[in-house]
Structure formats: C-alpha cells, structure tokens
Amino acid sequence: MLRHIISMKDFSNDEIDIILKRAKDFEPIARGKKSSLLSGKILATLFYEPSTRTRLSFETAMKRLGGEVIDLGPVEKSSVAKGETLADTIRVIGNYADAIVLRHPREGSARMAAQFSNVPILNAGDGAGHHPTQTLLDLYTIMRESSLSNLRIALVGDLKYGRTVHSLAYALSMYHADMTLISPKQLQMPDVIKKDLKKQGASITETTNMEDVLGDIDVLYVTRIQKERFPDPAEYQKVAGIYRVTVELLEKAPDNLIIMHPLPRLDEIDPAVDRTKYARYFEQSFYGVPVRMALLAMAMEVV
C-alpha cells in the first residue's frame, strides 16, 4: 500500500517513533556524508503557494540521499493557470515522479490528491489544514534538544489560525504532554481542537500571560501572529507584538528551557535571544532535513 503523509492523525505513536529514530540515523547524511539511498528516484515538488524553507529542505533531503527533484515551477506559468484540476495534475505528475510533495491553499487538498495519485503524496501544507512534516520536525527537535517524555510545553501566539500549532498540539497529546496555551483572548485555540486534544487525554491550561509560566516549562514554542489571517486590520493591531521573548524575560527561565519557532519570525523573538543557551530555532530548521529524509525514504526506498 502507498504510504501517504497527509495528517498527524494518520500516525500511531509507534510509527512516529520509527520516523524519529530513522531521522536520527540520517543526521550525518543531512550534514553532508554521501548517500545513494534514493539514487534513480525522482521527487516532484508542487507548490501552489509560496514556500521557501519547506521546499528547499525537501529538495536538500532528496538530493543528499542521491535522488533527483523536478519542480512544477511558478503556478502562474503552469497548466494550473490554464485551469487544470489538481486531480488531473496529480495523475499526470504521478506518472513522472516516484513521490509528490504538495502544498496547496485548500484544506483537504492533500487527502484528495492521495485518492488520485499512484505515488505517495507528502503534504507540505494544505491551507489552514495540516502540515505533518513540520510537526514531525518539531517533535524531532524536542526529542533531540529536550525530551518527549514528561514534557511540559507552552505554545505561544496565534493558536487560533496557526495550523502548525494545531498539528503539533495534537501530536503532543499523543505523548501526554502537559500543555500551556498562551494567547490573547481573540486568538485562543478553537474549541473543536481542544475537544479533540482532551479526547486524546491531553492536559491543557490556558492563559494570556507568558511570564508566569516560564519557570514551569521545558519548551517554549513561539509562533508568529500572521497579519494575513485577520479579516480586520484593526483587530491585528490590537494583538501585534503582544508577546515578545527578550533576554530580560528569560532571566527567570530554568537552565534547561529551550525556545523553538517554526520561522520565519518577526519581532516575537528578539535577535539578542539567538545568542542565549535557550535558542534552538535554527537547529529546529536544520532538523527538517533529516526528518524529511526519513519520510522520503519511507515513501520511496525499495525494501
């Protein structure tokens, strides 16, 4: 059966652990050691929405494993601009490539693509829906830089619209993490999602204050408050810049705290924090490569 990577909800704990372990094995290759594991294989990248780091880290992962990458290119110049459906595009590209990485602005697009594809689909973001490869690299970062067991984590920022944070919270609930959700009232995590998390047995605390929780957590996961998500610019102005991680704020932080961010950041983490022992967001973005290697290997290697 084809192994598509669509949503974290499709994975069991054991499967996640296998992927994370595999990623660890790939780390030396991600750092430059030669490999020909996927030589002769072709990965197609279909990005209907701009993305640099996700696309580049998939390309890097594929090339370092000895494989080739073909790219749909800018959507405006492709058959999509002529009105081809995603279903047709997937059927065509699936006959060229051994796997397809897809980012598309519509929720559920990756799930649909999987129904039409004869090669594995790797979801690199479907609108406000899922972004499982980001979640897996977040879990990997926590595993490498902190610990997934007995984890106490605070998620900060836009918890309403941020897809990254929804997938991550779901995955963390599978690890029974103790979660603190920090956001302004307008950007709280939607009730449907909280309900799902509680069903998984997650423990959740909600607050608007970041300072108060710093002493009791292992991981501070900061997200950007995205202007484009707000229907009303005045609403955005009210919450823009309300959470700012600074060196002063971190004075109360325990030694082993780590700070993560999916990047790109705006002003939610002061650049001076980069030089502290807490910062892990650049490691986190590097870990995207070995994690995506593990997923590409799973999707394409001959066993």
Partner 1 sequence: MKRNEAENKISDGSLKKEMRVRPIKHGTVIDHITAGQALNVLKILGISGTTTAVVSVAMNVPSGVLEKKDIVKIEDRELKETEVDRISLIAPDATINIIRDFEVIDKHRVELPLQLEGVMKCDNPNCISNTVEPVISKFTVNKKPVELRCIYCDHVISEGIAEHLI
**Binding flag, residue 127, partner 1 (CB under 8 A):** yes
Nearest approach in angstroms of CB 235 to partner 1 is: 19
Beta bridge partners, 260, equal 221
Cα 230 to Cα 160: distance, rounded to the nearest angstrom: 11
> Hey, which residues between 1 and 30 contact partner 1 (CB under 8 A)?
7
- Contact partners, residue 228, CB within 8 Å, separation at least 6: none
Site string for partner 1, 240-279 (x = CB under 8 A): ----------------------------------------
- The alpha carbons of the chain give a radius of gyration, in whole angstroms, of 19
Which pair of structure tokens corresponds to residue 51?
């993305």
Cα 275 to Cα 271: distance, rounded to the nearest angstrom: 8
18 versus 87: smaller Cβ distance to partner 1: 87
Q: Is 180 helix (H, G, I), strand (E, B) or coil?
A: strand
CA 39 to chain centre: 26
Site string for partner 1, 176-215 (x = CB under 8 A): ----------------x-----------------------
Among 53, 56, 108, 184, contact with partner 1 (rule: CB under 8 A): 108
106 versus 265: smaller Cβ distance to partner 1: 106
Q: Which helix (H) or strand (E) holds 205?
A: strand 203-207
Which pair of structure tokens corresponds to residue 90?
């997937």
Cα 287 to Cα 24: distance, rounded to the nearest angstrom: 9
Stretch that binds partner 1, among 59-67, 109-117, 171-179, 278-286 (CB under 8 A): 109-117
> Hey, which residues between 34 and 93 contact partner 1 (CB under 8 A)?
85-87
Give the residues lining the site for partner 1 (CB under 8 A). Answer: 7, 85-87, 104-109, 111-112, 115, 126-129, 192
